[in-house]
Amino acid sequence: MQRTLIWDLPTRLFHWTLASSFAIAWLTSEGDRWHAVHVFVGYLMLGLVGFRVLWGFVGSHFSRFASFWFGPREAFDYLRQVASGHAARHVGHNPTGSLAIYILLALALTVGFTGITTMGGDEQQGIAAGWFSFSQIRLLKKLHEAGAVLMLLVVITHIAGVVVESVLHKENLARSMVTGIKLAEPGTPVASSHRLVALVMLVTMLGFGGWWFSYTLVPQADRPAVKFVGQQLPDNAQWREECGSCHAVFYPALLPARSWQKMMAEQDKHFGSDLGLDAATTQAVLKFLVDNAADRHQTEAAFKIDRSVASGDTPQRITETPYWIKKHRDIAGADWANPLVKSKSNCAACHLDADAGTFEDGAMRIPKAPAAGTSGPQPAAAKP
């Protein structure tokens, strides 16, 4: 037996980058704060899978699919050998390990694509923005989550397999995936290290990362701290003027069209005021309200508010829709009493993007009450 290069450099680089990307994707899967990182590693994984499939045909001997083209039956036989403690040693991938690789590649593809479509539907962002509506995306989102859980299970099984195999054949398999070197019989095909391919891979990944995160390096006044602040919704100057004089404007997507129709029809009794708009203005403002109402599902909030309101109801207050109540019922009384908040309708006190109408998770926070006796910080501007 002699020390032989089995795993070429691109295969090792692929393996460890995929493993780290997967771990990072898990750690960043909750909340919008790390969304940009989550999406980045998602794209990275898709790119890596694409590379690995190609490398399975043109890579060095033990990286080629032809060298580990085992079926489930061989994998099962191998498991039986392992159970009896007399498993044959494979210099390349063993039959169960091979199966894990194919399953992982397929799952990574599935999770990557459903991730892109989920982002396109749920946040209306990324390359699939606009492909699906919020309601259509629910199944794809479930698939994305289920695929990730399945992948985690296969990864755990894979690691367990590596440990068992390492003990069984008294060799450190994880280390050989770092060094590429294993003990092998003379005559075993020796891998070429393919340094140039690995270098191109590395430069491509670093370049992609640099480009993706470049926005964090150049601070700009009009650029938000969180990259994903949402889409740009349609705007209307007349609506802003007529509906923003007594209170901050409430974006049309926060109530269904029938609520706006009723509100404009009864504009002389608008919460104790008479809006007094002439017919032409009423019609123009109503058109903007209806065109962008919750029923249009332009944002996640619109979709969820619309689904929460019973079809016969025409709520006149956003703060009385079931979705709004559900989302805000855990906020403490002291936070509502905060002089920076004062009223439930003061959306902008907690939602930095209230004026833009998007109500993204990343743009909300509860302001701290100023200490007694001090003037305290001023309420945040409504502009995101």
* Interface with ligand HEC (CB under 6 A): 242-243, 245-247, 250, 254, 270-273, 275, 285, 300-301, 304, 317-319, 324, 327-328, 331, 335, 341, 343-347, 349-351, 359, 361, 364, 366
Residue 343 C-alpha from the chain's centroid: 33
Cα distance from N-terminal residue to C-terminal residue, the chain: 66
Contact (CB, 8 A) for 48 and 21: yes
What span, in angstroms and rounded, lies between the C-alpha atoms of 252 and 297?
11
Report which of 212, 215, 227, 219 is spatially closest to residue 363, judged by C-alpha positions.
227
CA angle 46, 104, 164 (to 5 degrees): 140
Report which of 279, 334, 325 is spatially closest to residue 304, judged by C-alpha positions.
325
What span, in angstroms and rounded, lies between the C-alpha atoms of 145 and 147?
5
In the complex, least distance from residue 257 CB atom to ligand HEC, rounded to whole angstroms: 12
Report which of 332, 379, 325, 371 is spatially closest to residue 351, judged by C-alpha positions.
379
In the complex, least distance from residue 218 CB atom to ligand HEC, rounded to whole angstroms: 28
In the complex, least distance from residue 358 CB atom to ligand HEC, rounded to whole angstroms: 9
In the complex, least distance from residue 373 CB atom to ligand HEC, rounded to whole angstroms: 23
In the complex, least distance from residue 305 CB atom to ligand HEC, rounded to whole angstroms: 7
| Residue with Cβ nearer ligand HEC (231 or 319) | 319
| Residue with Cβ nearer ligand HEC (141 or 158) | 141
In the complex, least distance from residue 130 CB atom to ligand HEC, rounded to whole angstroms: 19
| Residue with Cβ nearer ligand HEC (8 or 295) | 295
**Ramachandran area for residue 256 (φ above 0: left; ψ -120 to 50: alpha; else beta):** beta
